[in-house]
């Protein structure tokens, strides 16, 4: 291998090891750290981030990339060598374009924003949060300008999560989705009482839920020799190479919370476990994009986990585990219950159908904030108006409205679209997988997932971060993100459940 | 504060944060990491160690120390400022004196040594381990020479664990101890059957053991808001500042294993929790020495935890927890059982009385190895001869002999004396505490430990790493490590139990 490439990878590996160490510190913070460790942990994380940034942006790295690029241009762009140079360049540019001072100020503003957000939520008073959010919007605009873009300022932010994506593409996709979804949601909303799910609340022993969740994770292919599951307040997944992938879950009165949360994180985990071990610590050791990552979690959570086929196999087991709650509930009733639609105010509690409407609103508002078409002071009212338009109801307070999500408080603008993109891609990939492996539906009914997982491994996981999300989806399905299969899937599913 | 000092502390803080991150990665490795994470974890740890070493030995650090020392010399040597400069200098010198190449080779030899040791133990064949151990001895000699010493080569190694200590002091102390202990051990050995402890083996529910251990930890003052306990194969304690101190424990058929292991680690944990929070991340943020650390663990494990006074308070609780095992066993019988002496082959299973004999042997042998008076090939036979002389019995195989401890396989020569030093210091400190706070014995009988802990906080913990172990013990007790109180304690205790 090219000596300069070796050296670049060596340097990059240190950046990556520091990031992994930070990832473990964060995992620990959310799962095990005693309260007294918080202050010092924040300092440790700041040091690791600083050292990683220093090494990623070192003059040596820049020099190596300059020297490697002509050589890499002569290689097959799909090769490991060409890919690591390409991705390292993207990360190097991203890290060097933002002046250190701006980045430090943004980081401080994000900490202050998060603290103010938590306080404002507690007090139910948006005005506590507003000045910090204003500052964050301003600094985010400066970051976007520093990062650069071709069409629109928001592109620069979008690219942090979806490299190569354009705002105009997201807008077109969301418009198409909105046109299909809104009438469907309204039709279902009128028949909301056709489906009951009260028996899914309360009376489910946590230990049994945990064991059943582990049972499902093993069934779908999550390898506990190369991963584990813990509890945390907010479920998440983090991978340290494919050999150590960690999921978290939580338990709430609603049975579906842990059940589908576990399958969701399990889907993220399968992706991480499917990235080739030899990619670990290199620029291509991570997933292609947030949207593609979300496609994997949504696939296992919704397309598999909320399907009748899946429960045809697993429902008897679940019934046997909770006979006093589910003994008298038949499969169809259970299936309808776990897919019950109810337009609600809170994104993270939203059902499969209304979920995207929450994203449309956030995308619309953050786009306006970043492009200067909306003032922070006007945000709460814009939120209420948007909710009324999309879901027919508005929150009574800002805690259940504009302050419900943590993202903006930490300056994570540009992230939300990935959620909906993930939903769209999940169906596009699932349909392609079934087209090429027609046995998949029957396998799912038998509780066998090797066919589906194998296809995802082959088409998505094994490429790690070599390609952008769009490149990967085109390679896998022959076309870019397409709303049609997703809308078709939702229509068929919910028309049947609600007898439309 | 002096600007140069600020900068030095800033640089040092990064070293410290890297070390803490490495500490968490190691903790995780021993407590939670799935098997698949091992390979990459080793790489992550190597990167963190490399970056920490680079920063500690940076020219800037050397320059700052050169510039700060004249200023620090004008300050009260007990002041924070003078202390951090003094300790940082010691660590800087230690890190810079060993050539990077030698350190890297030593690190590789230690990894290879550990692997060969594990393999040799498995196979029961010392010859597999011998060549790696020889190499480690050679490299350790080179390290000692690089580190430098005034009297004897072994001093340089001793100083890694007990800054400022001399081999000659250890020899004198050990000689005094040996003269007192060997006759006592022999006298007890003849009456070994007077004390039974068979009822302490088996039938103790782990969950109840865990809960009782936590109960004891809380009683002695361990703060679970600033710490936690987990399980691991080998119990250990690690602190990330005083706000996040982690203990581990394990369960075996012998009840005393978790019980006294928990109190032992709890003692280490109390020390860590007692170091001032503002010392965290500075050169004085760690304990004074390994021996002083061990004095705290032995204090709570043995002087408190294996005392009749302690169990006068807690034994009824333990009986109530395990009525089927201990219901018919009275306090005196229990007290004798947990103090049963039995000359055994294995150090980590040794009782309080014979424990030090195991250390004498190891110290004697490693001193000879380092000073060139013993060949690795002759080590197994020297071990057997030493065991016969000290404990009247020799192991049948090297697994239970020279290969039982991990230390040498990782190149940790100079460490063993700290164990016995800790025993000696524990009694010296305990007696001084009781002298100055005469209520301590009655408090222990009532299950109250604030008096004893308060004294240790004041005299030991709050100084962090400002002083060497010897300095600290002289400040606290008025004299250097002294075998007399320890021997007196052991004689009184065991003469009573064994009716000598």
Task: Tell me if A357 sits within 8 A of A181, measured CB to CB.
Answer: yes
Which of A39, A40, A58, A241 has the most B C-beta neighbours within 10 Å, making it the best mutation to test the interface with B? A40
Task: Tell me if A201 sits within 8 A of A252, measured CB to CB.
Answer: no
pLDDT at A104: 86
Question: DSSP states of A150-214 as a string?
Answer: SS-HHHHHHHHHSTT--HHHHHHHHHHHHHHHHHHHHHHHTTGGG---GGGBS---HHHHHHHHH
Inter-chain CB proximity A36 and B227 less than 8 Å: yes
Report which of residues B137 and B39 the model is more confident about.
B137
From the CA of B440, how many Å to the nearest CA of chain A? 29
| Identity of the residue in A13, A34, A225 whose CB atom sits nearest the CB atom of B34 | A225
pLDDT at A305: 98
pLDDT at A100: 86
Token pair recorded at residue B164? 């400022």
Question: Mean pLDDT over residues A56-82, rounded?
Answer: 97
Q: Which residue of A has its CA nearest to B15?
A: A47
pLDDT at A220: 98
Q: Report how far apart, in Å, the C-alpha atoms of B215 and of each of A32, B48, B156, B209, B253 are.
A: 20, 36, 42, 10, 20
Whether chain A has a CB inside 8 Å of the CB on B14: the answer is: yes
Inter-chain CB proximity A37 and B13 less than 8 Å: no
pLDDT at B303: 98
Residue range A289-319, pLDDT digits in tens: 999 999 999 999 999 999 999 999 999 999 9
Query: Catalytic one among A265, A272, A294, A352?
Result: A265
| Cα angle A287, A291, A294; round to 5 | 85
Inter-chain CB proximity A244 and B51 less than 8 Å: no
Which of B24, B214, B229, B269 has the most A C-beta neighbours within 10 Å, making it the best mutation to test the interface with A? B24
CA B138 to chain centre: 25
Whether chain B has a CB inside 8 Å of the CB on A51: the answer is: yes
Whether chain B has a CB inside 8 Å of the CB on A207: the answer is: no
In whole numbers, what is the pLDDT of chain A averaged over residues? 96
| Identity of the residue in B20, B50, B242 whose CB atom sits nearest the CB atom of A44 | B20
Inter-chain CB proximity B40 and A13 less than 8 Å: no
Q: Report how far apart, in Å, the C-alpha atoms of A337 and of each of A199, A247, A309 are.
A: 9, 26, 15
Residue range B430-461, pLDDT digits in tens: 999 999 999 999 999 999 999 999 999 999 99
Contact residues on chain B for A13, CB-CB shorter than 8 A? 43, 47
Report percent pLDDT > 90 for chain A: 95
N-term to C-term CA, chain A:
61
Q: What pTM was estimated for this model as a whole?
A: 0.94
Residue range B139-158, pLDDT digits in tens: 999 999 999 999 999 999 99
Whether chain B has a CB inside 8 Å of the CB on A276: the answer is: no
Query: Catalytic one among B265, B301, B431, B471?
Result: B265
Whether chain A has a CB inside 8 Å of the CB on B231: the answer is: no
Find residues 233-252 of chain B whose CB sits inside 8 Å of chain A: 240-244
Question: Mean pLDDT over residues A20-43, rounded?
Answer: 94
Active site residue A272: no
Whether chain A has a CB inside 8 Å of the CB on B42: the answer is: no
What is the 8-class DSSP label of residue A387?
Answer: H
| A109: Cα within 13 Å, side-chain hemisphere | 22
pLDDT above 70 for B330: yes
In whole numbers, what is the pLDDT of chain B averaged over residues? 96
Residue range A172-227, pLDDT digits in tens: 999 999 999 999 999 999 999 999 999 999 999 999 999 999 999 999 999 999 99
Whether chain A has a CB inside 8 Å of the CB on B406: the answer is: no
Q: Report how far apart, in Å, the C-alpha atoms of B250 and of each of A193, B29, B128, B189, B265 are.
A: 54, 16, 30, 29, 11
From the CA of B44, how many Å to the nearest CA of chain A? 5
Q: How far apart are CA B373 and CA A334, in angstroms?
A: 78
Q: Which residue of A has its CA nearest to B20?
A: A44
pLDDT above 90 for B1: no
Q: How far apart are CA B198 and CA B134, in angstroms?
A: 42
Task: Tell me if B15 sits within 8 A of B56, measured CB to CB.
Answer: yes
Question: Mean pLDDT over residues A355-359, rounded?
Answer: 96
Q: Report how far apart, in Å, the C-alpha atoms of B487 and of each of B306, B391, B411 are.
A: 16, 18, 31
Q: How far apart are CA A291 and CA A420, in angstroms?
A: 8
Q: How far apart are CA A356 and CA A178, in angstroms?
A: 9
Question: DSSP states of B415-456 as a string?
Answer: -THHHHHHHHHHHHHHHHHHHH-TTHHHHHHTT--HHHHHHH
**CA nearest to A177, candidates A373, A356, A406:** A356
What is the 8-class DSSP label of residue A347?
Answer: G
From the CA of B414, how many Å to the nearest CA of chain A? 31
Whether chain A has a CB inside 8 Å of the CB on B51: the answer is: yes
Q: Identify the residue whose tokens are 């460490």.
A: B415
Backbone φ/ψ region at B272: left (φ over 0), alpha (ψ -120 to 50), beta: alpha
Residue range A385-428, pLDDT digits in tens: 999 999 889 999 999 999 999 999 999 999 999 999 999 999 99
Whether chain A has a CB inside 8 Å of the CB on B224: the answer is: yes
In this prediction, residue B307 has a pLDDT band, given cuts at 50, 70 and 90, of very high
Task: Tell me if B281 sits within 8 A of B12, measured CB to CB.
Answer: yes
Question: Mean pLDDT over residues B65-91, rounded?
Answer: 97
Contact residues on chain A for B32, CB-CB shorter than 8 A? 228, 230
**CA nearest to B288, candidates B273, B271, B313, B302:** B271
Task: Tell me if B22 sits within 8 A of B52, measured CB to CB.
Answer: yes
From the CA of A26, how many Å to the nearest CA of chain B? 11
Question: Mean pLDDT over residues B309-318, rounded?
Answer: 98
**CA nearest to A386, candidates A369, A372, A371:** A369
Contact residues on chain B for A48, CB-CB shorter than 8 A? 17-18, 21
pLDDT above 80 for A1: no
| Identity of the residue in A33, A37, A225 whose CB atom sits nearest the CB atom of B36 | A225
pLDDT at A319: 98
Sequence-distant (6+) residues with CB within 8 A of B194 are B498, B499
Inter-chain CB proximity A228 and B40 less than 8 Å: no
- 3-class secondary structure for A361-372? HHHHHHHHHHHC
pLDDT at B100: 86
Inter-chain CB proximity A280 and B228 less than 8 Å: no
Q: Identify the residue whose tokens are 């932010």.
A: A157
Q: Where are the alpha helices (DSSP H) in A322-461?
A: 323-326, 331-338, 355-371, 379-391, 417-436, 440-445, 450-459
Q: How far apart are CA B252 and CA A434, in angstroms?
A: 52
Residue range B361-373, pLDDT digits in tens: 999 999 999 999 9
Q: How far apart are CA A360 and CA A381, in angstroms?
A: 16
**CA nearest to B195, candidates B306, B319, B297:** B306
Q: How far apart are CA A342 and CA A354, in angstroms?
A: 8
pLDDT at B27: 96
Token pair recorded at residue B187? 């006298």
Q: Which residue of A has its CA nearest to B230?
A: A32
Contact residues on chain A for B41, CB-CB shorter than 8 A? 240, 244
Q: Report how far apart, in Å, the C-alpha atoms of A132 and of each of A399, A409, B69, B338 are.
A: 16, 8, 44, 61
| Identity of the residue in B14, B36, B47 whose CB atom sits nearest the CB atom of A244 | B36
Contact residues on chain B for A17, CB-CB shorter than 8 A? 43-44, 47-48
pLDDT at B93: 96
Number of neighbours of residue A272 by Cβ within 10 angstroms: 28
Token pair recorded at residue B157? 């190694």
Q: Identify the residue whose tokens are 């997933």.
A: A287
Contact residues on chain B for A43, CB-CB shorter than 8 A? 13, 17, 281
| Identity of the residue in A14, A24, A227 whose CB atom sits nearest the CB atom of B24 | A24
- 3-class secondary structure for B105-167? HHHHHHHHHHHHHHHHHHHCCHHHHHHHHHHHHHHHHHHHHHHCCCCCHHHHHHHHHCCCCCH
């Amino acid at each position: 291998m090219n000596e300069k490439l070796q050296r670049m990878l060596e340097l990059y590996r240190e950046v990556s090891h520091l990031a992994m160490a930070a990832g473990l510190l964060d995992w620990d913070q959310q799962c095990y750290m005693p309260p007294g460790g918080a202050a010092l942990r924040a300092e440790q994380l700041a040091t690791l981030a600083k050292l990683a940034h220093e090494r990623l942006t070192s003059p040596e790295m820049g020099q190596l990339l300059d020297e490697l690029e002509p050589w890499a241009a002569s290689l097959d762009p799909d090769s490991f060598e060409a890919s690591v140079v390409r991705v390292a360049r993207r990360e190097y540019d991203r890290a060097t374009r933002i002046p250190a001072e701006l980045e430090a100020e943004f980081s401080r503003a994000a900490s202050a924003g998060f603290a103010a957000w938590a306080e404002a939520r507690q007090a139910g008073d948006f005005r506590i949060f507003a000045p910090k959010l204003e500052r964050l919007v301003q600094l985010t605009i400066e970051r976007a300008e520093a990062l650069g873009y071709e069409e629109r300022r928001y592109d620069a932010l979008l690219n942090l999560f979806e490299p190569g994506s354009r705002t105009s593409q997201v807008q077109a996709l969301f418009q198409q989705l909105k046109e299909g979804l809104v009438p469907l949601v309204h039709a279902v909303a009128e028949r909301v009482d056709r489906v009951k799910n009260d028996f899914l609340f309360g009376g489910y022993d946590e230990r049994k839920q945990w064991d059943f969740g582990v049972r499902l994770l093993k069934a779908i292919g999550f390898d506990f020799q190369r991963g584990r599951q813990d509890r945390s307040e907010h479920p998440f997944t983090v991978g340290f190479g494919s050999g150590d992938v960690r999921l978290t879950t939580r338990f709430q009165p609603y049975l579906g919370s842990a059940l589908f949360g576990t399958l969701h994180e399990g889907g993220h985990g399968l992706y991480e476990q499917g990235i080739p071990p030899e990619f670990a610590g290199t620029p291509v050791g991570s997933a292609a994009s947030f949207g593609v990552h979300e496609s994997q979690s949504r696939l296992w959570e919704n397309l598999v986990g909320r399907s009748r086929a899946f429960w045809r196999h697993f429902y008897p087991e679940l019934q046997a585990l909770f006979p006093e709650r589910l003994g008298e509930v038949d499969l169809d009733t259970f299936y309808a219950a776990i897919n019950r639609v109810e337009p609600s105010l809170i994104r993270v509690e939203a059902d499969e159908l209304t979920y995207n409407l929450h994203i449309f609103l956030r995308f619309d508002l953050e786009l306006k904030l970043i492009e200067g078409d909306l003032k922070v002071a006007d945000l709460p009212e814009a939120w209420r108006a948007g909710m009324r338009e999309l879901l027919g109801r508005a929150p009574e307070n800002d805690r259940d409205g504009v302050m419900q999500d943590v993202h903006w408080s930490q300056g994570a603008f540009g992230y939300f679209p990935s959620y909906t993109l993930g939903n769209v891609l999940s169906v596009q990939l699932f349909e392609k997988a079934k087209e090429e492996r027609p046995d998949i539906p029957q396998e799912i009914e038998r509780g066998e997932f090797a066919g589906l997982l194998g296809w995802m491994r082959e088409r998505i996981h094994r490429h790690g971060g070599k390609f952008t999300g769009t490149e990967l989806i085109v390679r896998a399905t022959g076309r870019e993100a397409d709303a049609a299969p997703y809308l078709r899937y939702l229509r068929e599913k919910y028309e049947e459940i609600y007898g439309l």
